Amino acid sequence: MTANDIPRAARQTRVTTSHWGAFEVTTEGDRITGTAPFTGDPEPSDIPQAVPAAVHHSSRVARPSIRRGWLERRDRSSRGHDEFVELPWDEALDIAAAEIDRIRKTHGNEAIFGGSYGWSSAGRFHHAQSQVHRFLNSIGGYVASFGSYSTGCAQAIMPHVFGVPFLRYLYNSQDSWQTIAENTDTLVMFGGINRKNAQVSMGGITRHDTQSWFERFHDKGMRCVNIGPQRRDAPEGCEWLPVRPGSDAALMLALAFVLEQEGLTDHAFLARYSVGFERFRPYLMGESDGLPKTPEWASPICGADPETIRALARRMASTRTLITVAWSLQRAEHGEQPYWMSAVLAAMLGQIGLPGGGVGYGYGAIGGIGKSMKSLRGVTLDQGQNPVGTFIPVARIADMLENPGVPYDFNGRRAPYPDIRLVYWAGGNPFHHHQDLNHLHEAWKCPETVIVNEPWWTATAKRADIVFPATTSYEREDIGRTDLDEYLFNMPALIPPVGEARDDYDIFAGLAERMDAGARFTEGRSSEEWLRHLYEGYRASGAEAGIEVPEFDDLRARNWVKLPIVQEPPLPSFLARFRADPEGHALNTPSGRIEVFSETVDSFGYADCPGHPVWLPPTEWLGTASAQTPLHLVSPQPGDKLHSQLEAALADQPDARPERVLMHPEDARPRGIASGDLVMLRNARGAVRARAVVSDDIRLGVVALPTGAWYGDASENIDPHGNPNVLTRDKGTSSLGQGCSAHTTLVEVAPLG
């Protein structure tokens, strides 16, 4: 059933799914009028409450729109400060197709950057990232990006350590919550495990159960230690060790020093399952640099008491211990170091591969990590082959746009930035998640043309030249399915498209047809035919695994089904198999073992990422604070939305904007700041407004301003909405990872009169 088949006068309630989980949607006529929690979710998210207002918000892009300055004179300088001309679909598609064709014929497909971030919809066919990449591949390819803002640094470093793609480790190869509950005695959480972040997951998470697992942990008597600057980064009942941001590698080194000094290191494990400890040990013990990494050395760096460090190290060595590391730790300058060092620390404990022991990454970062599922081939639109081999690390967009031809380092390769003349963006808002947005605003003026598919007039859409109105996931039919969840959804078209919005697929099909690539892009299929085609492949995968998946029309009628794919008992992790048989299940590293020291990384010659983990002080942290910028800013994910989605509606709520900034009472008091006050955060890169929340749930000297507020007008002296990325530093984590370093930021906070 399509949206146009729905009786317009009827009041209907159906279930759909999203990245923040399943929920019921009520419609009346052409409008979404309400939402309610999905009955199968024990801890439903509040995020869907904003859906009705967001879908029908006045900021929806109503019609194809072209920026006047670009249309009349190909002006770039007025991006973000120009009016738009609305045009009929055919005319706008003609103009866009001609421009894309001009760029590729004049400069080659290496001049086109295909931007997308993959979070636009939980649906598997109407997945903007797949759609835009498939379209660009059908016309000759594009410059791509590597990694994500959340895990780009880890995706670069961790394959050198464990020999497996980092995302595969996260999603398919770690201990399950059940395994942790049954076996772990001490849970040491660097960066915490946050229920707020676990609301969301790529493709959706139907049963939110992080809190219930921690209740089981506490009932068992598990000791749970939250190490980080915010108390609420872990559930109630966890111990809190409030360390300085950016200091985790130093604390891990001090824990390792205690293990080695007190004879608690498992040298038999290191000898059989790892390589390079003998190269790392002289640094740890201070034999190579004259600085033993003692608790006394680490204490002034991280802020933890030396005896607390010693006691924690002894506890970790004497109990079954799982070290977990949040994604936030690698979103900072030298973010490679705590990730690598956590693996080394776990190897020294000798518990890697034991149930509930060793090290895990990203628990709580998204909701699906910790589930153990039978793997089925996904419902995935083939993006085709990209003939262009050029790519950049995802967080280096501004550098790329400003510096064509300038060489840069990344993970052992040195290459010039491509000369980008056209950016096509669909399914994301870089003016939300990139760093130093005032800098990006200027870099965004470099390409000749920017085209965006977008439902709302985001900051990115306002800075485009051609904007095509795209449907939301509530205005089209799709299939909701992810390997991290046991539920399968038909996502019905709940209402007709708002305004003149079209599906990304139809937009790209129109462009491809005009560029003689229509058959390559569509393969002669309509959207419904694609859904049926992809779904039949999924059913066949289920049949091969002995799992009954309903027919497509049956799923439509039922709306959703729960598949029997939860692994009971949970499968052992790949490191458990490696531990049991290190030769038969050798790791895909040069040595076949865990690399405490990496000859490969060492051969790159990077001073900011040598051959073993080290402590490297960030450029901006409390150790370099000044009178002008004395506070360390962290910018966590928001709790009321995913990234900047639904922000149009949320910003309309009373007192919702500017965004709230959390600060310690002893930081607020001398500045004359109380909860509820409007304040300004500033540094040399910019300034933002925020509303203060004063609480001792954050470490002294640290302030936290969530991401997600839409970026305002760069010509103003202060961002009015409270986007922290006006303040963050746009510098790669290191020459190896080149990831996002948002958490390496100093600011001052002052009251606004």
Q: How many angstroms separate the CA atoms of 75 and 718, rounded? A: 26
pLDDT digits (tens, 9 = 90+) for 410-424: 999 999 999 999 999
Q: How many angstroms separate the CA atoms of 115 and 540, rounded? A: 32
- Where does residue 611 rank: exposed (0-12), middle (13-18), buried (19+ CB within 10 A)? buried
pLDDT digits (tens, 9 = 90+) for 737-752: 999 999 999 999 999 9
Q: Following DSSP, what letter does each residue of 382-426 receive, concatenated?
A: -----S---EEEGGGHHHHHH-TT-EEEETTEEEEPP---EEEEE
- Given a cut of 70, whether residue 183 has pLDDT beyond it is yes
* Cα 196 to Cα 234, 488, 703, distances in angstroms: 9, 24, 18
Same domain, 74 and 7: no
Q: Which residues are catalytic?
A: 117, 119
Same domain, 516 and 635: no
What is the 3-state secondary structure of 185-198?
Answer: CEEEEECCCCCCHH
pLDDT band at 96 (very low <50, low <70, confident <90, very high): very high
- Given a cut of 70, whether residue 374 has pLDDT beyond it is yes
Which of 102, 731, 586, 636 is CA-nearest to residue 328? 636
Sign of CA dihedral 178, 184, 185, 188: negative
Same domain, 190 and 312: yes
The tokens for 431 are: 């003016």
Q: Which residues of 511-545 are buried (b: 16+ CB within 10 A; e: fewer)?
A: bbebbebbeebbeeeebeebbeebbeebbebbeee
Task: State residue 5's pLDDT score.
Answer: 56
Q: Which domain holds residue 511?
A: 67-146+377-484+505-526
- Given a cut of 60, whether residue 8 has pLDDT beyond it is no
Residue 534 placed within a domain? no
Q: How many angstroms separate the CA atoms of 637 and 174, rounded? A: 23
Task: State residue 6's pLDDT score.
Answer: 53
What pTM value is reported for the model?
Answer: 0.96
Same domain, 83 and 47: no
Q: How many angstroms separate the CA atoms of 204 and 122, rounded? A: 6
Hey, which residues does 112 pair with through a beta bridge? Answer: 422
Same domain, 101 and 159: no
Domain count, the chain: 4
Same domain, 690 and 626: yes
The CATH number of whichever domain residue 694 belongs to comes to 2.40.40.20
Mean pLDDT lowest for which of 485-494, 571-580, 677-686?
571-580
Task: State residue 628's pLDDT score.
Answer: 97
Q: How many angstroms separate the CA atoms of 383 and 381, rounded? A: 6
The tokens for 359 are: 């090290």
Same domain, 77 and 190: no
Residue 187 placed within a domain? yes
Same domain, 713 and 628: yes
pLDDT digits (tens, 9 = 90+) for 642-698: 999 999 999 999 889 999 999 999 999 999 999 999 999 999 999 999 999 999 999
Length of the chain: 753
pLDDT digits (tens, 9 = 90+) for 603-635: 999 999 999 999 999 999 999 999 999 999 999
8 A C-beta contact, residue 704 and residue 632: no
Which of 672, 632, 658, 655 is CA-nearest to residue 710? 658
Helix (H, G, I), strand (E, B) or coil at 631: strand
Sequence-ordered list of residues with C-beta below 8 angstroms from that of 98, at least 6 positions apart, any chain: 514
Q: How many angstroms separate the CA atoms of 684 and 581, rounded? A: 54
End-to-end CA distance of the chain: 55
pLDDT digits (tens, 9 = 90+) for 21-39: 999 999 999 999 999 999 9
Same domain, 199 and 302: yes
Residue 279 placed within a domain? yes
Same domain, 193 and 99: no
AA letter at 550: P
Q: How many angstroms separate the CA atoms of 397 and 392, rounded? A: 8
pLDDT band at 244 (very low <50, low <70, confident <90, very high): very high
Q: Following DSSP, what letter does each residue of 223-241 receive, concatenated?
A: EEEEESSBGGGS-TT-EEE
Same domain, 340 and 404: no
Task: State residue 384's pLDDT score.
Answer: 96
